[in-house]
Amino acid sequence: MINTISSKLLMLPGILLAISIHEFSHGYAAVKLGDNTPMLQGRLTLNPLKHIDPIGFLCLLFIGFGWAKPVMINSRNFKNPRRDDFIVSLAGPLSNFLMAFIFVGLMKVVITFMPNSLLKGVVLDVFRGTVSINLVLMIFNLLPIPPLDGHHILGSIGGRTVWNFYHKYYDYLRFGLLLLIIFNVIGVIITPPIQFLYGFLLNIFF
């Protein structure tokens, strides 16, 4: 029981960072492309309290994958709505990959230069958890199912035909995603690409 609690606490910094970076990146990209909605809603911040979805946060902490409170955007403010919506949607997952890359690099620094100690083990556990959570958020959000980022990315690529499909079946697809989460099918789907990317990053630094 104590080990379980301590492992969850070690994951907490990575979860808060991953959520904050993900949603801030969406908002920052939107503002840069002409939509100030995220700024007006107070979402252009790294404060995790502004981005946490309670259920999604608990899922991240106890199940291993989850979500944050989506950043609202108004694509009518974009000069090129189709292209800019694609960029904004991709910004979140890409930021998580960048964080994973940085923290694998930090793991290398700690292993190389930090003397062996209990603190070193704790730091490495926090960094490993941060890498894992960022990869989880990246891959999970790339799934092309509403309301995840992937459905915006696919819609931006496919255009009206794809958007019409999402509009027609939106509620069914969201319910389907809920079932996939409940029966842990999502875990089966996203684990292989997460493991591949984790291995890929380790091979870069080690």
Residues 190, 119: Cα–Cα separation, whole Å: 31
Q: Is residue 173 a contact partner of residue 162, using CB atoms and an 8 Å limit?
A: no
Q: Is 33 designated active site?
A: no
- Identify residue 179 by its one-letter amino acid code: L
Residues 123, 107: Cα–Cα separation, whole Å: 8
Please give the angle made by the CA atoms of 152, 97 and 32, to the nearest 5 degrees: 55
Residues 200, 138: Cα–Cα separation, whole Å: 15
Q: Which of 17, 23, 131, 136 is catalytic?
A: 23
Mind telling me the catalytic residues? 23
